[in-house]
């Protein structure tokens, strides 16, 4: 799909690009760092047109139920207030980017950026209709965010050049991407918006 002009009603949603999900972090997503320069291009394209940018962050209490020592399935990660929970400094976020924190409840995991947050209300308040979604990880938080967005009636463009998967079992990322597209997400790359 070429020549997709950005316009009013479009928003960029960057899911969980946080140090703990990057190589060297507590729950590193392989190649997660490779999407940062691509996301910076999308950010620039949106900022130039005064279109809004949201970022979600996984933000857990120290003994969150998703952590292995608590009986969950992940190493402790993205604990509120720790360096691992922060955005990497090379992600060039605009000062007006809107921040959505999720996973803050100790006894509930939240993969989707919509779960237990005001994201849907904020998007609707700004008359957003189309979400351009990228970030980490394809097979968890991106997948669940995109599925919720579609259920809520947003048009979703999936930034296939700006997502990476955990791939705990091989092909999880490929399967998640196929599922999102099957469910209505439109796969694009940066060249589609800036040909
Ligand atoms: C995520 C595992 C645990 C994600 C968050 O952001 O994809 N994955 N918590
Ligand atoms: Zn988490």
Model confidence pLDDT, tens digit, residues 80-125? 999 999 999 999 999 999 999 999 999 999 999 999 999 999 999 9
102 has catalytic annotation: yes
Residue 79, helix vs strand vs coil: strand
User: How far apart are the C-alpha atoms of 55 and 121, rounded to whole Å?
Assistant: 15
Prior bond of 107 cis (ω within 30°): no
Overall residue count recorded for the chain in this entry: 195
Contact 150, 156 (CB under 8 A): yes
63 CB-near residues (< 8 Å, 6+ apart):
69, 70, 106
CA of 69 to the centre of ligand 2 (A): 14
- The catalytic residue among 78, 102, 109, 139 is 102
Q: What is the pLDDT of residue 4?
A: 78
Residue 174, helix vs strand vs coil: helix
Average pLDDT, the chain: 96
pLDDT exceeds cutoff 70 at 3:
no
Prior bond of 182 cis (ω within 30°): no
CA diameter of the chain: 49
Q: Please state the ipTM of this predicted complex.
A: 0.95
Q: What is the pTM of this model?
A: 0.97
Task: Name the residue at shortest CA distance from atom 8 of ligand 1.
Answer: 140
Query: Does 109 sit in the ligand 1 pocket, CB within 6 Å?
Result: no
pLDDT exceeds cutoff 70 at 28:
yes
Q: Read off φ and ψ for residue 136, nearest 5 degrees.
A: -130, 150
């Amino acid at each position: 799909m070429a020549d997709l002009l950005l316009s009013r009603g479009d928003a960029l949603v960057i899911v969980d690009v946080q140090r703990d999900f990057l190589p060297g972090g507590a729950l590193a997503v392989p190649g997660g760092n490779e999407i940062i320069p691509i996301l910076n291009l999308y950010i620039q394209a949106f900022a130039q047109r005064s279109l809004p940018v949201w970022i979600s962050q996984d933000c857990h209490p120290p003994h969150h139920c998703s952590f292995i020592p608590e009986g969950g399935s992940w190493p402790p990660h993205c604990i509120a207030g720790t360096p691992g929970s922060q955005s990497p400094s090379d992600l060039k976020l605009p000062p007006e980017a809107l921040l959505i924190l999720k996973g803050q409840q100790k006894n509930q995991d939240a993969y989707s950026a919509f779960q237990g947050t005001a994201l849907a209300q904020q998007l609707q308040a700004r008359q957003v209709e189309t979400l351009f979604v990228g970030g980490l990880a394809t097979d968890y938080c991106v997948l669940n965010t995109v599925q919720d967005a579609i259920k809520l009636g947003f048009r979703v463009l999936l930034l296939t050049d700006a997502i990476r998967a955990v791939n705990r079992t091989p092909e999880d990322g490929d399967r998640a991407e196929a599922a999102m597209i099957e469910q209505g997400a439109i796969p694009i790359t940066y060249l589609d918006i800036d040909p």
